[in-house]
Each structure stands twice: as C-alpha cells, then as structure tokens.
C-alpha cells in the first residue's frame, strides 16, 4: 500500500538518521536538508509495495542524492563552507537516538568534516557509510552501483587519507573559537570596524533570520566589509550582548538566557578567522537550543 499518510509516518521515523547521513556526507546543514527533502519527493513517486526495509531503502536514496550533489559540487569546483554545528533538530535529546546525537555533535563533527573535505565524492560516501554508519560493503556496493571489491577499495583508500590527516585538537579549536567570539563581540561593542575586519574571513557569510525585523529583508550578507557594516549598525545593542555556550560551543546572545532576542552562531577556520555567522531569532528555534552561561 502506498498511502501518503503511512509513507509520511515511515519517513518521519527515519528523518534524524537521514539528516545525520546527509550532513556527514555533505558537511552543510542546508544541503543536508535539501538531500532529505529530495529523498521524500522520490519516496512519494515510488511504488513501495515491495520495499521490505524502509530504513535501508531510504538510506540508499539519500546516499545516492548526496553522491550526485557531491559530484555536481566537484564539477563546478565549488568550495565547501561548513557549519560548526548543525541547527537543532526536534527529537530525542537524551542520548537514546545515536543518529540525532551524531547530527548535533559540534567539535567532533566539525573536525571530521575538515578531513572529509579532502576525499573524492565516491571515497567520502563509502567512508561515511562504512566507518561512521557501519553499512556492509555489499550494501555500499548496491548503493553506489559498484561491485563489492570496488566499494571496499574506496573505503580503505578514504580511511588511509583520513588517518594521514591529523584531526584538529577539539580543545584547541574550542579555545580559539572562544577567543575569536570574545574579540568579535568587543569590536562590535566599540564599533571598531577595522578590528571586526581582522577577525572575519574575507569571504565570510552572515545568515540573517527573517524573524528579526531589522534585517528581515537581507537574508544573506557576503564578504567581510558587508558583514562588518551590518554588525556595526548594532553597536548600541552589542553593549548589552554577551558570550554564551550554544549547543556546547561559543556564541553570542542578545537579550538573556530566559528571554533571548537572537543568538549568533559562528564557524571558525583553522587560520583563526570567522567564516560563517548564523543568526537565530525565531522563538521556536531558540527554545530548541541548549544555551548556557560561559564560565568565568
């Protein structure tokens, strides 16, 4: 039976897992959401009457979608811009959902994604499916349209490349990020344009939240000067802003923990500059965040 309500229920039970798979493969929160949405569209267009393992079938579909996206990105020579932490996903937060925990992990996920960037699309898919999600090589071969020996070779080659690149120190990265966020906030408070430019990557991207009226008509700002100019407009508000932990990572809050106006999340590159800033002002999304005061 291909009842749409039944399909939607089955899909929702797999959503966290599919998001985790897609995020690990693509390293981009928004692209992972696109891949999951495309998987749903393909599901609704398919006769699933003979599908015995819906979870496995959907994993196959989202993996193929991600592989196509990685190949397209590579052919266009696009550079990956990663998020330091995925947006919160409604669901279990008690550790009983491994896929959800994998998706929302901050430092570990970021560190691994830095290395996965160096792999080819096929290597990345094979490595993620086998070494992170424990699929067998026979399953991976079917997903990728290759024989089992080829799938094994891809994963092995990817593993050697991953092991040959030391993952960034989580402690060191967290400390660097905290220092950069502090420097960012100090510059914003003082309206110090030059100082802001010094902590921003030249190609930094600011994602505004339409739920915050002053920037509702400017969804994205690109480039250090444009971002610094917008941040400079909030110098007065920044004087009452403070650094906080957002999902365990340094961020900035406007308002207070009980009544936040918006928060800013940051992506920091290994060279010590901020490459991406994400604003969250929607109250429903803010309630899903794990926010805490920074230790003095």
Which structural domain, as residue segments, surrounds residue 39?
A: 4-163
pLDDT tens-digit series, residues 67-97: 999 888 766 544 444 433 334 333 333 344 4
Domain count, the chain: 2
Q: State which of 145, 163, 181 marks the end of a domain.
A: 163
What are the angstrom distances between the C-alpha of 226 and each of 146, 180, 193, 200?
A: 46, 19, 11, 11
Q: Could you tell me if 105 and 124 lie in one domain?
A: yes
- Residue 143 shares a structural domain with residue 176: no
pLDDT band at 272 (very low <50, low <70, confident <90, very high): confident
157 and 223 co-located in one domain: no
Last residue of a domain, one of 163, 190, 214: 163
- Reported as a single tens digit per residue, the pLDDT across 137-185 is 899 999 998 898 889 989 888 888 777 665 555 555 666 677 888 888 8
Residues sharing a CB contact under 8 Å with residue 2, sequence separation 6 or more, in sequence order: 47, 48, 49
Q: What percent of the chain has pLDDT over 90?
A: 12
Whether residues 181 and 85 share a domain: the answer is no
Predicted local distance difference test score (pLDDT) of residue 199? 86
CB 204 within 8 A of CB 220: no
Q: How confident is the model at residue 107, as a pLDDT? A: 36
254 neighbors 262 (Cβ within 8 angstroms): yes
Question: What's the mean pLDDT in 216-238?
Answer: 84
Domain boundary among 148, 163, 178: 163
Residue 112 banded pLDDT, cuts 50, 70, 90: low
- Which tokens is 250 given? 């340094």
Q: Which residues pair with 240 in a beta bridge?
A: none
CB 252 within 8 Å of CB 261: no
Mean pLDDT over each residue of the chain, to the nearest integer: 78
Same domain, 151 and 257: no
For residue 226, give the nearest of 200, 263, 252 by alpha carbon.
200
Residue 108 has pLDDT above 70, yes or no: no
Q: What is the pLDDT of residue 171?
A: 54
Distance CA(110)–CA(37), nearest Å, equals: 23
Confidence category of residue 110, pLDDT binned at 50, 70, 90: low
Residue-wise pLDDT for 26-65, tens only, equals 877 788 899 999 999 988 888 777 777 888 899 999 999 9
**Rounded to an integer, what distance in angstroms lies between the CA atom of residue 272 and that of residue 61?**
37
Residues 144 and 257 in one domain: no
**What tokens appear for 107 in the block?**
């430092």
For the ranges 92-106, 130-144, 228-242, the lowest mean pLDDT is seen at 92-106
**Which H helix or E strand runs over 252?**
strand 249-255
What's the CATH number where 62 sits?
Answer: 1.20.140.160
């Amino acid at each position: 039976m291909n009842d749409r309500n039944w399909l939607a229920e089955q899909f929702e039970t797999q959503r966290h897992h599919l998001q985790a798979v897609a995020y690990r493969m693509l390293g981009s929160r928004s692209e992972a959401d696109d891949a999951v949405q495309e998987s749903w569209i393909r599901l609704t267009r398919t006769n699933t009457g003979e599908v015995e393992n819906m979870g496995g079938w959907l994993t196959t579909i989202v993996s193929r979608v991600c592989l196509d996206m990685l190949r397209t990105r590579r052919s266009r020579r696009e550079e990956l811009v990663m998020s330091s932490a995925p947006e919160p996903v409604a669901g279990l937060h008690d550790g009983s959902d491994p896929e959800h925990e994998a998706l929302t992990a901050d430092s570990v996920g970021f560190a691994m994604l830095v290395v996965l960037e160096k792999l080819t699309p096929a290597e990345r898919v094979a490595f993620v499916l086998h070494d992170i999600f424990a699929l067998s090589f026979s399953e991976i071969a079917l997903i990728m349209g290759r024989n089992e020996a080829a799938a094994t070779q891809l994963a092995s080659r990817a593993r050697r490349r991953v092991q040959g690149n030391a993952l960034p120190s989580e402690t060191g990265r967290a400390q660097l990020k905290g220092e950069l966020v502090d420097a960012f906030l100090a510059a914003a408070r003082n309206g110090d344009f030059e100082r802001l430019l010094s902590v921003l990557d030249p190609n930094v991207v600011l994602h505004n939240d339409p739920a915050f009226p002053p920037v509702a008509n400017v969804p994205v700002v690109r480039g250090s000067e444009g971002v610094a100019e917008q941040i400079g407009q909030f110098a007065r508000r920044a004087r009452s802003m403070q650094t906080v932990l957002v999902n365990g990572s340094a961020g900035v809050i406007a308002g207070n923990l009980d009544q936040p106006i918006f928060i800013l999340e940051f992506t920091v590159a290994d060279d010590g500059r901020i490459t991406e800033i994400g604003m969250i002002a929607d109250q429903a999304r803010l309630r899903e965040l794990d926010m805490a005061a920074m230790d003095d």
